[in-house]
Structure 1
């Protein structure tokens, strides 16, 4: 597929997907959302890809919905259609993919851009970057999954504050709140992301996929159900060749060669 609004850089065992509208701080329109869904779909289907890095071109990650793209009239915007047809399928795909998604947060992540960042599994942020749930500033509510992801990361009281004030949360504060995994200097961002990629591409793809699936399922389950799920998945993991290779490599003091 030829991309207009997205770049798709395939490496040996990982891929970098970047929103590529730097002139508008990577604001989202239907074209961007369609191409992002296609790009993540291609990464999911490629069995050689074990890790996905998600970022933005230029100085921003994503400034949210492109308000100019919704049309000149503000009276008949099909909010439900846009969210159901473009945002929701992308978010669901990102959570379904059994591969780690690392958000390389290189700049602003605002509105729906903040939601996209939160949908990733790991967020490594430049100290210059910030997240902001700015929906209330224009009389809207959070969408694209933020009502799910935000309280899971920071708890209800802080989620309520961030959602209602729309204030900017810079990376160092975001790290303390648990909103991002790590805040680093901009000049070190690529290096730190590469360290995470290195870990994931040499890990068991089978185990990583099941861990992501279990963590997604566990929310809302009872302890009894979680314990039973763990037993079921552990049996699947133990019957996979990666388990034997992992134990053998540990005993032989060498790096494992997973599938």
Structure 2
């Protein structure tokens, strides 16, 4: 079985990390395949929303330590970061389609930070998040030091990263790390319902919103207002904007095509 599975239906691409025997930990083959799969979702016009999830009991346990401790297989940390994780994070943030991180179990190390980089994060009630790096003498990577302080504040992020505390799904929702927690019985159904809703929305506007959120991380207020003006003009030229206005005037539900 491939280490990454892709299923496309009704405008939603489900991308599944598929190394359940290692709790979906990353080796080089899986990291590169995930990048290729995300590229495919980006260029496929039929795809208007993406679910990123894991197979089995875990979402992702981070790096496969068997690979980095093997003299034959170890690619080295620079290659792992610059060719594996950094490109994955960059794709998640630059694909102008909504990406739902569906955390189906433990998300540890790079696995936790990949989830947090997604646009909307949901979790099953028994999921957990662990900044596990300090437990083996490493520092947080995969943009964890960028996103986590912005999500929950500097002080809490610092403690979680230094102490390596496990955070339950319920606590993660309370802290603002994720959008919603679902019961084990409804997790798959609710996640699919959320992604389908996103796939039926104005994809162009959602993509531009994502671009604005990315730029808000570094822009001044004046710069952000200027970019908002430019991108609002771009959004107003879309077919979906025309459809949305016509549907509002005609008192009907809009049918967006993502253009």
Common fold by TM > 0.5: yes
Cα distance, 1:207–1:68 mapped onto 2, change above 3 Å: same
Aligned to 2:215: 217
Q: CA deviation at 1:77?
A: 6.8
8 A contact 2:106–2:127 mirrored in 1: yes
Distance 1:169 1:8 in 2: 29
Q: CA deviation at 1:198?
A: 2.6
Ranges in structure 1 where 5+ consecutive residues have no aligned partner: none
SS in 1 for 2:233: helix
Distance 1:31 1:154 in 2: 33
Distance 1:140 1:104 in 2: 26
Query: 23-32 vs 186-195, which deviates more?
Result: 186-195
Distance 1:162 1:178 in 2: 14
Q: CA deviation at 1:72?
A: 3.3
Q: Which TM-score applies when normalising by structure 1?
A: 0.95
Query: 110-119 vs 190-199, which deviates more?
Result: 190-199
Q: How does 1:217-256 map to 2 (within 5 A)?
A: 217-256=215-254
Ranges in structure 2 where 5+ consecutive residues have no aligned partner: none
Question: How many positions carry a matched residue from both structures?
Answer: 255
Q: CA deviation at 1:242?
A: 1.4
The CA RMSD measured in Å over matched residues stands at 1.3
CA-to-partner distance for each residue in 1:123-146, whole Å, 9 max, x for gaps?
A: 110110000000000000001111
Distance 1:33 1:255 in 2: 40
Distance 2:131 2:77 in 1: 17
Distance 2:217 2:141 in 1: 19
User: 4+ residue runs of structure 1 moved beyond 2 angstroms?
Assistant: none
Aligned to 1:97: 95
SS in 1 for 2:129: strand
CA-to-partner distance for each residue in 1:119-171, whole Å, 9 max, x for gaps?
A: 11111101100000000000000011111111111110010011011111010
